[in-house]
Chains A and B, each alone.
Chain A
Amino acid sequence: MNEDLATRLVDFDQHHLGDPLDRATFTLLLVASLILPVLALLAGWMWL
């Protein structure tokens, strides 16, 4: 394995991890890109 990569992997502890997807961010994603669009689609269907 590439020496730089091996060192990088060994160093990759919790301090180098990014944050997980938390509940609040997931809720934002869910509402903004699934629930609201589905509601908009229902409104659009009425308009059709």
Chain B
Amino acid sequence: MDDVAAEASFPIHSSERTWGPLAVFGNTASAAIATWCFITGGFVAYYVDAGPGSIAIIAGTLIGVFISLLAALPPATRYGVEAVRSTRPTLGVRGSWLTLALVLVILVGWNSVLTIFLGRSGAETLHALGVVDSPDGKALVVAIGLLSCAAVIGLLWKGPSTLRLAGPAIAITVMALALVMMVFLLAEFGWDRIFSAPALAPLPDRSTNYMIVIELGIAGAVAWWPYIGSLTRHSRSTRTAVAPSILGLGLLMGIVLSIGLFAAVVVPASAGNPTLFMIEAGGPALGVVALGFMVLANVGTTMVGVYACALALKQVRGIDRAISWRTASLVSILPVVVVLVLFADPFMDHYGTFLAFAGVTLGPVCGLQIVDYFILRRQRLSIHGLYDDDNPTYRYVGGFNPAGFVALAAGIATYLLMLDPVNFVPGTQAFSWLSATAPAAVASGLVYYVIMRAAPGLLRPSLATTASPGTPAPARATDPDPDSGPRVASPTS
């Protein structure tokens, strides 16, 4: 593949894409499986017991994957573009800066969560193994976190092409270690004890408890939106990218979430992290398995996160020109180092709020992107409009698409109506049947469709403009720009 294209976030030609199903699966699984699964799994245990809880969290994750894959994967695999760039048709050339800011905050946030969690649980594990005297030393937590940051930069130093091999290698190892953890849990506690243990602190209403778990799964999977665009644009085809992505981001993540759930219901003090009682019960051998899982899973996910962050950063024309791929990677990890060293405790205290922020904003982004790409544009975008800031195709009103912003606001308002994202308290009884992220995505898509249809001044120019002035448009019958060449039927039509 042309590394210049991949590193500068240019559209990658289909002939340059080298990722087959294994690379897509490996990288999506590597991104999805990390110790945050234990945190969320532990959270699930408060509401529902292990049986229905594992069904709800796996199914919820898969539904979230449906929303985020449908929004981000088809434009990425067809045009070779990453997620932020693909929002130009919905929000406008300048409006897409909003998604850029959103993606940078979310990716830096996720990477910080992972690095701090690895530092803390790594210190606890080393203490349990007798390597260090105290698990509470901040210096040790910071040192482990910094080492993981250095490992991530080392993996990405030679460019994004490293991911093709590193992703599957990390994913396969992490899956094997997760299997050992699952077997340990079942052998140590048994099916009966795990599945008969009650939920830790359920709300009075059963359906609300159940839906909160489903919502956790949906919101967590929708947060993969920026990762999906960055990863799947390397895939050789759309067809071969879908199934590996469902398996990697949906099913495997759901299974590891269930490990956290099982651990939390049988040992509530673990909060979903089975590593410490694995060491107590199984000694150093299981301790090494636990430590290996934590290091590989978190470094693998942070690697993909930093890659996506660097790529998003290079969407800004000035930044793309000014800094190299390596500098972009370093700049992407720098805020993580600052959070790790200075703000680790307050940041982790607000982990739930951060997760909610991702759900509140990305669900609506997905909703309007699905409607725009499949229903309004029939899978056809203007590649010139996406990349040339002077091209009028997606400039709308001063560079902003008002329909996109109104729809986004409608989606966010719908989410807030359904659920208080900070305290996880439903705002209406309808939440118990509909969740919050799914109706937010539907509301934003619906509002976007109505406004774009009602205001033809917005839609028509973005369907009928070709290359930018001064840019020679390819005069071919197969021109991919919207006004020439056959439209592709929507798969739903």
The residues of A with any CB-CB pair to B shorter than 8 Å are 1-2, 4-6, 8-30, 32-34, 36-38, 40-41, 43-45, 47-48
Contact = CB atoms under 8 A, between A and B. Distances in A.
Contacts of B51: 44, 47
Nearest to B15: A16
A8 B2 CA distance: 11
Contacts of A44: 51-52, 55-56, 59, 210
Contacts of B317: 2
A17 B14 CA distance: 6
In the complex, which of the residues B15, B77, B206, B239 has the most CB atoms of chain A within 10 Å of its own CB atom? B239
Interface stretch (B145-153, B338-346, B418-426, B472-480): B472-480
B50 to A, nearest CB: 11
Binding site secondary structure of chain B: helix
Nearest to B243: A28
Given A13-B480, A20-B379, A33 B210 contact: no
Contacts of A38: 59, 63
Contact of A19 (B48, B78, B389, B468): B78
Nearest to B2: A8
Given A9-B387, A17-B480, A25 B242 contact: yes
Contacts of A2: 8, 317, 320-321
B491 A13 contact: no
Contacts of B206: 48
Given A41-B56, A44-B55, A10 B474 contact: yes
B403 to A, nearest CB: 23
A32 B491 contact: no
Contacts of A30: 66
Contact of B15 (A15, A26, A28, A36): A15
Given A14-B480, A16-B15, A4 B62 contact: no
B243 A34 contact: no
Given A1-B388, A13-B478, A25-B491, 12 more contacts: A8-B13, A9-B471, A12-B474, A16-B14, A16-B15, A17-B79, A18-B237, A29-B246, A40-B58, A45-B207, A48-B48, A48-B206
A44 B207 CA distance: 11
In the complex, which of the residues A8, A9, A20, A41 has the most CB atoms of chain B within 10 Å of its own CB atom? A9
Given A45-B52, A48-B206, A10 B243 contact: no
A18 B78 contact: yes
